[in-house]
Amino acid sequence: MEFCDKCGGLLMPESENGKYFLECRNCDERKPLTEEIADSYSSTLKISHHIGDEYKNAIEMEKWKKKI
Ligand SMILES: [Zn+2]
């Protein structure tokens, strides 16, 4: 897992316009999502060489949780 340089908050993978990055839940700080970082999320998000459907599903799940 990666943490925010500004506030120490947890960075979560997000996507926008087909690009993937890490975004802080507290201050909206963004970091590029490198393959190395993606690997550190592989316990919850399965990413091999490219970003697959399970990754997208995890993001959709996050959005879904916010609606409740
Ligand atoms: Zn932050």
Give me ligand 1 centre to Cα 37, in Å. Answer: 17
Give me ligand 1 centre to Cα 46, in Å. Answer: 24
Tens digits of residue pLDDT in 24-67: 999 999 999 888 888 777 765 554 445 556 666 777 778 887 77
Distance from the Cα of residue 15 to its chain's centroid: 8
Kindly give the pairing relationship between strand 30-32 and strand 11-16: unpaired
Q: Which whole-number Å values give the CA distances from 15 to 5, 11, 58, in the listed order?
A: 20, 13, 11
Give me ligand 1 centre to Cα 63, in Å. Answer: 19
Query: What is the amino acid identity at position 38?
Result: A
Is residue 20 scored above 80 in pLDDT?
yes
Give the pTM: 0.53
Domain chopping of the chain, boundaries: 11-67
Give me ligand 1 centre to Cα 1, in Å. Answer: 14
